[in-house]
Amino acid sequence: MNTLSSTSSRIADVLDRLGISEQNSGVSTGATPIQASGEELISYSPVDGSEIARVRGASEEDYEHALGKAREAFLQWRTWPAPKRGEVVRQIGEALRAHKADLGKLVSYEMGKSYQEGLGEVQEMIDICDFAVGLSRQLHGLTMHSERPEHRMYEQWHPYGVVGIITAFNFPVAVWSWNSMLAWVCGDTCLWKPSEKTPLCSIACQHIVQQVFQRNDVPEGVSTIVNGGRSVGEWIANDGRIPLVSATGSIRMGKSVGAAVGARLGRSLLELGGNNAIIISDKADLDMALRAALFGAVGTAGQRCTSTRRLIIHDSVYDAFKEKLVKAYSQLRIGDPLNEDNHVGPLIDHDAVAAYERALKAVIDQGGTLLVEGGVLSGSGHESGCYVKPAIAEVMPEMPIVQEETFAPILYLLRYRGDIQQAVAIQNGVVQGLSSAIMTTDLREAELFLACTGSDCGIANVNIGTSGAEIGGAFGGEKETGGGRESGSDAWKAYMRRQTNTINYGTELPLAQGIRFDV
């Protein structure tokens, strides 16, 4: 390793236990990494600016080799009984439990979220393993009555093949697990392109998974990682040999992936940006609303797709709630996310800091007011230049900056004076449609918010915030959020193809719809 700060010194043993060295291959189809020949990726920690390690990304030749292994493995993996595949996933869950502390620290250090959030992300992986194990015995179809005598109709589900998974930096391991664990019990193999900003997390996950796969004689190629830059994502999106591409990231990226996959008539599962709002009614429990808004806005330094961007507050409680919120912001501690006394860690890199600064300038230029001014922190404990102050701005709904998703801890306050429908109209008046919430003790308001005339988002909550979804429910959003669904409920159907079967067990051949064709 290079010269290490005190924080990075504390992580050195963690890296060793997770199978990460100073130089790493970012391409792997099994227990032995491929000697990749593409661009070099350098992982810098936003916590202290230290170089953690280097990763050699994939060349096009490396990509072809990895995809070939994944396609070859699929021919065997699809024949394993689903409960047997589920047993392998169960063991992955146990391995993740054993490595939870170490992987949580790596997530925290490489990405910058708090250690508690890092642990929470690994717990999500464990939870989806548990969910997938049960699912492995429930990949059910339907039985239908045939209109023809002595005929039986039913449907069944088959695996697609290779699933391409493109993930973002903000959840460097959990979102991959949402896709891969379900895809694996469904009988698919996975080719994962992680964010180039968090390559080490992918190597750690592959190391953990391959130890389980080796013990169970899982074919090489069932789990494949292909690190690299934008070109790797483009190879996946344009490759007709990959029937399903699951991509998480910005709306811009999603439109590009969706267009490429759609042009070849492939299937895409898109989880894109969110511009999430909490409506705070005049009938809200303001203390509860404060806690929901605070974590939603500053958790992960505002770098969650479900982060709270907007508070839509009733005029009668606006001033009282604003006072509570400003006071709470004054008590936030910003610093090393591995120090559990801190509330807010760094942004991912200097580009994210620049976007944060541009957004604050746009607020002023467009006529908004900063209630809590932001700024970039420097000096002891903030040497990386990635630490920023969470900011609060009073704005109007029509301001262009309010329509955008800035991946940073900037919270916009908007006022409404009418009934709940006015607040819902403000909430729905953006192109994104991921997560939404209302804080109210009024049953009618809650039900109106959840009705078809209410929130237009994929997630709608009552008396909890926009952030922190459980894996049991399908996760995803509408409009320019992409329309995909991952994780719980029946999201598994995205990873399989449906087949309708009709069996004639009689001695005649009647046609449907009563058609006669006698010769």
As a whole number of angstroms, the distance between CA 119 and CA 107 comes to: 8
Q: How far is CA 287 from CA 284, 298, 365, in A?
A: 9, 17, 33
Q: How many CB atoms lie within 10 A of CB 303?
A: 22
Terminal CA-CA length for the chain:
81
340 is a catalytic site residue: no
Residue with tokens 């070939």: 68
Q: Provide DSSP, 235-292.
A: HHHH-TT-SEEEEES-HHHHHHHHHHHHHTT-EEEEE----EEEEE-TTS-HHHHHHH
CA 213-217-221 angle, 5° bins:
60
305 is a catalytic site residue: yes
- Report which of 208, 258, 228 is spatially closest to residue 63, judged by C-alpha positions: 228
Q: How far is CA 253 from CA 60, 355, 358, in A?
A: 20, 17, 20
Options 110, 196, 271, 445, the catalytic residue: 271
Options 305, 445, 457, 480, the catalytic residue: 305
- Copy the structure tokens of residue 396: 């109007």
One-letter amino acid for residue 201 of the chain: C
Pairing between β-strand 151-159 and β-strand 496-504 as defined by DSSP bridges: antiparallel
- Report which of 516, 508, 519 is spatially closest to residue 149, judged by C-alpha positions: 508
As a whole number of angstroms, the distance between CA 410 and CA 373 comes to: 10
Using DSSP's 3-state secondary structure scheme, residue 226 falls into strand
- Report which of 202, 197, 204 is spatially closest to residue 230, judged by C-alpha positions: 197
As a whole number of angstroms, the distance between CA 424 and CA 427 comes to: 5
One-letter amino acid for residue 516 of the chain: R
As a whole number of angstroms, the distance between CA 41 and CA 60 comes to: 16
Q: How many CB atoms lie within 10 A of CB 287?
A: 9
As a whole number of angstroms, the distance between CA 126 and CA 142 comes to: 30
User: Which positions are catalytic?
Assistant: 271, 305
